[in-house]
Amino acid sequence: MTEKEVCLSSKNQIVIPKEIREAVHLKTNDRLCLTVSSGGSIMLWKKPKNYTKYLERRGENIWKGIDIDKYVETIRREWE
């Protein structure tokens, strides 16, 4: 694990060090997500462009056991 110290500026901003950006392939205008744990730790990660593909790469099938066509039809009816 790579660990770097950063400083919060007077404008409440931080700079993510180049080494860290390169390690996680961050580019200008990438969207990031922040979460605060119950212990007060801040977690920061790159927002996936497609959550379904992101979860599939992690080995999680969010559609397992769901009839997708039936699900989509149900949602469409709710929108009407």
- Tell me the DSSP string of 22-58: HHTT--TT--EEEEE-TTS-EEEEEPPS-HHHHHHHT
Note the pLDDT of residue 58: 65
pLDDT tens-digit series, residues 41-71? 998 888 877 767 766 666 666 667 777 788 8
Are 34 and 60 part of one and the same domain?
A: no
Q: Give me the domain span that covers residue 19.
A: 1-47
Note the pLDDT of residue 33: 87
Percent of the chain with pLDDT over 90: 32
Are 74 and 36 part of one and the same domain?
A: no
Are 12 and 42 part of one and the same domain?
A: yes
CATH code, domain with 37: 2.10.260.10
Note the pLDDT of residue 15: 94
